[in-house]
A and B are shown apart, each in its own frame.
Chain A
Amino acid sequence: MTVAQADSSTLTSLAAEPQLRRKPRTYWSMALQSLRRDPVTLVAIGFLVIMALLSLLAPVIAGGIGIGPNDTNPDNAFQQPYLGPYIQWRTGLDPIRAPLMLGKSGGVPHWLGTDQLGRDQFVRLLYGGRVSLGIAFAATVLILILGVTVGTVAGFFGGVVDDLIMWFINTFVSIPGIYLLIIVTAMFKPNPVTLTIFLGLFGWFGTARLIRGNVFKVRALDFVLAAHSVGTRNARIMLQHVIPNSMPIIIVNAAIDIGVLILVESALSFLGLGIQPPTSTWGNMLNRANNFLFLRDPETEAYVALHLLVGPGLLITMTVLALYLIGDGLRDALDPMMKNIR
């Protein structure tokens, strides 16, 4: 009660305090502010951006190092990563090993070592990232287009339309997705384009269901009723009111989907049904490295191929983890309810 009764001069001086003077906050600026206070998500986004940039710049980087992704050198197979010896050389700990390795590789620094054919692991990982990330992003766009459209239509119209669509979706979801992919990849030779299309075509069911549920909720809200009552056409209501109100779900879902698709692409490659060598992807690099897990140097008895397993394995794990973290962070940031609880 005392606040309400405070005199106006106090109120004016309070308003002049810079901390208390606020701009009007929109939904998106609030989300952005929430994200800024979430270091984990920021690190994840940073990692993903760096990975995407490195993959995009793969030809430039490979050109700088001076080696292509399919350049073989069998005499220098299974070379261990140059990075460690390089650091030891620069810090003066071991002045011999790094130059020796460089001599063996013909002057090319193999930062992450070489594979069984003497191909540069770092460059192949970059090129593999182009394919793995590229397929996952592109297929996600396809999934969103299909899933959001179908989900919105089903949820918005309800009734028979919804029944038919849900019947169709439920039928397809009950077939294990990996089986469908195995069948089609056996029939069509998998290349990045066909694989993207297949992953998109078989991946949108979950998204559509999720959107449909949300649209059910949104279409019963007052502003949609108001729009209906003034005679706005359905398409306009969907585009202007329903879909924007599903945006948080769509964005969060997309981040998680990309992660899942990277895993699916890896799994298919691991089964030998994904993109075929010599094109590298993280999945088929991991698959090939798996065969060399127990390969040892007969003289030193040291395992020689572990670095081939670590590279793609770590990149897949970290990228997928980053995408999940981003999805989680975005959900927190974009959900008004969650913000109030904070």
Chain B
Amino acid sequence: MKNRKLSLLATLLVAALVLAACPQPTPVVETVRETVIVTQVVTETEEVVVTPTPAPPVQGGVWVEGSSADATILNPILASDSASFDVLGWFFPSLLGQDPFSGAIVPTEMAHSWDVSEDGLIWTFHLQDGVMWSDGEQVTADDFKFTYDAIASDLVETPRKANLDNIESIEVLDPLTIQVTYGEVKCDALNNLGLGWLPSHLYAEDYSDVMDSPLNEEPAVSAGPFIFNEWIRDDNSTVLRNDTYWKGAPNMDGWIYKIVPDPGARLAQLQTGELDLIGVQPEQLTTVQLDANLNLHKYKDDGYSYIGLNQANPANPQAGQDEDGNLVEQDPHPILSDLAVRQAIAHALDYDAIISKVYLGQGYQIASNVLPAVGWAHDPSLQPYAFDTDMASQILDDAGWTDSDGDGVRECNGCATAEAGATLTIRLQTNAGNTTREDLGALVQDQLNGIGFDIQFEAIEFGTLVGELLGQTFDMVIIGWTGLGTDPNDDSFWHSKFDTPGSGFNFVSYQNARIDELLEQAVSVPGCATDDRAPFYHEIQKIIHDDIPYVFVTGSVGNVGYSKKFNGTNPGPWSFYHNVETWSLAE
């Protein structure tokens, strides 16, 4: 017993040393803040995920993932739902890999390296040699070209046609070299080359059978860690170990995708061991945490909640640019165009209380628009606005918003943007039925009214709210973005060309020539190297943080509960299974 402990300790130490020596992507982990009262210094400690790898790994075992929805089609260019990709993701090789922790594009899949021409338009990808389909054929550049030509074909109906936008040509230079020529440099479009490749030797050359091939239901070959075995619709899909997987055959025998529609039943089956992995709902968290057989993977997701502050007069919505692309000066919002008011709002909210009470701990404070899940572009040095009502009141006093008649509501007495005597009355809206946002609204109303605002909060029907948002007739709105993806480009929220009343997502009418310029430069860096793009996003985050077109409330959090029966799991926000071939059954 003692010996085992010692050897485990030794393994851990060795593994920790090895891990410390290798350059590793920094895992996004929970930062623990503890205040040391004696010194009044806040220390931040960071957990390092240590994965002990006992040798030799135990073979066998099956991993069962529970899902609410079933796959619809197992063809990488026809599928559009996440359940389909959960299953088909095992079989098809892809050009570009994605860092499981930062979301950056990395050469871990078929392309082991690439060259980019001086002007950034011609990309030459060099492919891994010796990658085989499970029937013995080699995976080559022809499979890639076949896949993208199929998307372009008139015989194929697919939502992926947009992946070809801006691509002028795809050429196979030799079986292991692909050359892609772009019309212009758009770095956020690089992900479009990441689709799974079809096995071209099994499809008709003219793409005529892509839509209705039996392979779409039963993929015969695989170049990934698992091979398709069986798919019983609305019940389960099973896949088996691929002994010829080029990164090394997995230790486990197979993987099952089991459909369990009811969230309560999923949790129960996770606890009994029938399932090994489920997405956990916030109210189920405690149950998972209290279960000694389960791990909880809490990760920072690609969405956030915010309070949008309309910079322009809601009575007079205007487009941000005229037809020639020149900036159109906006009719400013009588209150919210005053930076002091926006700063006061940002300082008046008790973010810790909001996250712990309204979001039940399922969130984290963010400083600006690029999330930590996109690790390479996120600027961790930027500090979120601190909760400080005294400072907020002081800012309002200094800016000429004071309560001269003593009714508890401030008026404009020498303020910059409103008429003298106008009260600090602002509408705050959110969509009815979203109880979290309704609670947030009630809290924001009470906290802002506490420093002299007169907030008129109402929850309205979602369609009506979207109408007011896109129509730009609101003052303040509580809403959020989800599914922002791995690329930090979010120009549709800030660029003045997307300030188009009725349709554009820059509905807060944010207008900043420098931001427009930075957003454009950040996606047109030749080569699109993350190191070259990051400085642009750091500056963008700084400016957005200082200008406060949004009050950033919280970043969203995802929760996954999983069993401890395999060693080696190391989930990241962008992938749970990225190292599945190294997992092995715990003894």
**A contact residues vs B (CB 8 Å cutoff):** 70-72, 74-75, 77, 116-119, 186, 189, 272-273, 276-278, 287-288, 291-296, 298, 301
Q: Which residues of A contact B447 (CB under 8 A)?
A: 72
The answer to whether B286 touches A291 (Cβ under 8 A) is no
B351-359, B529-537, B550-558, B572-580: which one contacts chain A?
B351-359
B265 in the interface, Cβ–Cβ < 8 Å?
no
Main secondary structure of the interface of B (DSSP, over half): helix
B435 in the interface, Cβ–Cβ < 8 Å?
yes
Q: Which residues of B contact A186 (CB under 8 A)?
A: 461
Q: Which residues of A contact B435 (CB under 8 A)?
A: 287-288, 291
The answer to whether A74 touches B432 (Cβ under 8 A) is no
Q: Which residues of A contact B356 (CB under 8 A)?
A: 74
Taking a contact as CB atoms closer than 8 A, the residue among A77, A117, A189 that contacts B442 in the complex is: A117
CB pairs A–B below 8 angstroms (21 shown): A70-B442, A72-B443, A74-B350, A74-B357, A74-B358, A74-B443, A116-B357, A116-B358, A117-B358, A117-B446, A118-B357, A119-B442, A189-B464, A273-B432, A276-B458, A277-B438, A277-B442, A278-B441, A294-B283, A295-B360, A296-B286
| Residue of A71, A77, A276, A295 with highest tally of chain B CB at under 10 A | A276
Q: Which residues of B contact A71 (CB under 8 A)?
A: 446
> Shortest beta-carbon distance, B164 to chain A, in Å?
41
The answer to whether B283 touches A276 (Cβ under 8 A) is no
Q: Which residues of B contact A294 (CB under 8 A)?
A: 283-284, 286
Tell me, in angstroms, the Cα distance from A117 to B439 when the chains sit together.
7
> Shortest beta-carbon distance, B434 to chain A, in Å?
9
Tell me, in angstroms, the Cα distance from A75 to B439 when the chains sit together.
14
Taking a contact as CB atoms closer than 8 A, the residue among A77, A276, A291 that contacts B460 in the complex is: A276
B445 in the interface, Cβ–Cβ < 8 Å?
yes
Given contacts A276-B432, A291-B435, A295-B360, whether A72 and B442 have CB atoms under 8 Å apart is: yes
Tell me, in angstroms, the Cα distance from A77 to B356 when the chains sit together.
10
Q: Which residues of B contact A75 (CB under 8 A)?
A: 353
A280: nearest chain-B partner, CB-CB: B442
The 9 A-B residue pairs with the shortest CB-CB distance, nearest first, are A74-B353, A272-B433, A278-B442, A276-B459, A72-B446, A277-B438, A74-B357, A296-B286, A77-B357
> Shortest beta-carbon distance, A29 to chain B, in Å?
51
A72: nearest chain-B partner, CB-CB: B446
Given contacts A74-B353, A276-B460, A298-B289, 15 further A-B contacts (CB under 8 A): A74-B443, A116-B358, A117-B439, A118-B357, A119-B442, A273-B432, A276-B458, A277-B438, A277-B442, A278-B442, A278-B457, A288-B435, A291-B283, A294-B283, A295-B283
B290 in the interface, Cβ–Cβ < 8 Å?
yes
Taking a contact as CB atoms closer than 8 A, the residue among A77, A272, A293, A298 that contacts B432 in the complex is: A272
Q: Which residues of A contact B284 (CB under 8 A)?
A: 294
Q: Which residues of A contact B289 (CB under 8 A)?
A: 298
Tell me, in angstroms, the Cα distance from A339 to B126 when the chains sit together.
99
The answer to whether A116 touches B459 (Cβ under 8 A) is no
> Shortest beta-carbon distance, B381 to chain A, in Å?
28
**B contact residues vs A (CB 8 Å cutoff):** 283-284, 286, 289-290, 350, 353-354, 356-358, 360, 432-433, 435, 438-439, 441-443, 445-447, 457-461, 464
A189: nearest chain-B partner, CB-CB: B460
The answer to whether A117 touches B443 (Cβ under 8 A) is yes
> Shortest beta-carbon distance, B299 to chain A, in Å?
19
Q: Which residues of A contact B357 (CB under 8 A)?
A: 74, 77, 116-118
> Shortest beta-carbon distance, A308 to chain B, in Å?
12
Tell me, in angstroms, the Cα distance from A166 to B446 when the chains sit together.
51
Q: Which residues of A contact B461 (CB under 8 A)?
A: 186, 189
> Shortest beta-carbon distance, B266 to chain A, in Å?
15
Q: Which residues of A contact B354 (CB under 8 A)?
A: 74
Tell me, in angstroms, the Cα distance from A130 to B439 when the chains sit together.
21
Tell me, in angstroms, the Cα distance from A285 to B439 when the chains sit together.
12
Q: Which residues of B contact A119 (CB under 8 A)?
A: 442
Q: Which residues of B contact A295 (CB under 8 A)?
A: 283, 286, 360
Q: Which residues of B contact A288 (CB under 8 A)?
A: 435, 438-439
Tell me, in angstroms, the Cα distance from A294 to B227 when the chains sit together.
41
The answer to whether B441 touches A277 (Cβ under 8 A) is yes
Tell me, in angstroms, the Cα distance from A298 to B290 when the chains sit together.
8
Q: Which residues of B contact A77 (CB under 8 A)?
A: 357
A296: nearest chain-B partner, CB-CB: B286
Tell me, in angstroms, the Cα distance from A71 to B433 when the chains sit together.
21
Q: Which residues of B contact A117 (CB under 8 A)?
A: 357-358, 439, 442-443, 446
The answer to whether B459 touches A277 (Cβ under 8 A) is yes
The answer to whether B353 touches A278 (Cβ under 8 A) is no
A274: nearest chain-B partner, CB-CB: B432
Tell me, in angstroms, the Cα distance from A301 to B287 when the chains sit together.
9
Tell me, in angstroms, the Cα distance from A191 to B464 when the chains sit together.
16
Q: Which residues of B contact A118 (CB under 8 A)?
A: 357
B460: nearest chain-A partner, CB-CB: A189
B446: nearest chain-A partner, CB-CB: A72
Q: Which residues of B contact A292 (CB under 8 A)?
A: 283
Tell me, in angstroms, the Cα distance from A296 to B464 when the chains sit together.
36
| Residue of B356, B357, B360, B458 with highest tally of chain A CB at under 10 A | B357
Given contacts A277-B441, A301-B286, whether A70 and B446 have CB atoms under 8 Å apart is: yes
| Residue of B358, B438, B439 with highest tally of chain A CB at under 10 A | B439
> Shortest beta-carbon distance, A83 to chain B, in Å?
23
Taking a contact as CB atoms closer than 8 A, the residue among A72, A272, A273, A298 that contacts B286 in the complex is: A298
Tell me, in angstroms, the Cα distance from A71 to B449 when the chains sit together.
10
A118: nearest chain-B partner, CB-CB: B357
Q: Which residues of A contact B441 (CB under 8 A)?
A: 277-278
Q: Which residues of A contact B457 (CB under 8 A)?
A: 278
Tell me, in angstroms, the Cα distance from A77 to B446 when the chains sit together.
15
Tell me, in angstroms, the Cα distance from A295 to B464 when the chains sit together.
32
B281: nearest chain-A partner, CB-CB: A294
> Shortest beta-carbon distance, A193 to chain B, in Å?
15
Tell me, in angstroms, the Cα distance from A189 to B443 when the chains sit together.
22
The answer to whether A116 touches B439 (Cβ under 8 A) is yes
Tell me, in angstroms, the Cα distance from A263 to B255 when the chains sit together.
49
Tell me, in angstroms, the Cα distance from A288 to B440 when the chains sit together.
13
> Shortest beta-carbon distance, A328 to chain B, in Å?
37
Q: Which residues of B contact A72 (CB under 8 A)?
A: 442-443, 446-447
> Shortest beta-carbon distance, B282 to chain A, in Å?
9
Q: Which residues of A contact B433 (CB under 8 A)?
A: 272
Tell me, in angstroms, the Cα distance from A272 to B435 when the chains sit together.
9
Given contacts A117-B358, A276-B460, A298-B289, whether A70 and B445 have CB atoms under 8 Å apart is: yes
Tell me, in angstroms, the Cα distance from A298 to B286 when the chains sit together.
6
> Shortest beta-carbon distance, A40 to chain B, in Å?
38
A291: nearest chain-B partner, CB-CB: B435
> Shortest beta-carbon distance, B568 to chain A, in Å?
28
B463: nearest chain-A partner, CB-CB: A186
> Shortest beta-carbon distance, A26 to chain B, in Å?
52
> Shortest beta-carbon distance, B427 to chain A, in Å?
13
> Shortest beta-carbon distance, B576 to chain A, in Å?
24
Tell me, in angstroms, the Cα distance from A75 to B284 when the chains sit together.
23
| Residue of B350, B432, B438, B460 with highest tally of chain A CB at under 10 A | B432
The answer to whether A278 touches B432 (Cβ under 8 A) is no
Tell me, in angstroms, the Cα distance from A71 to B443 when the chains sit together.
8
> Shortest beta-carbon distance, B193 to chain A, in Å?
43
A188: nearest chain-B partner, CB-CB: B461
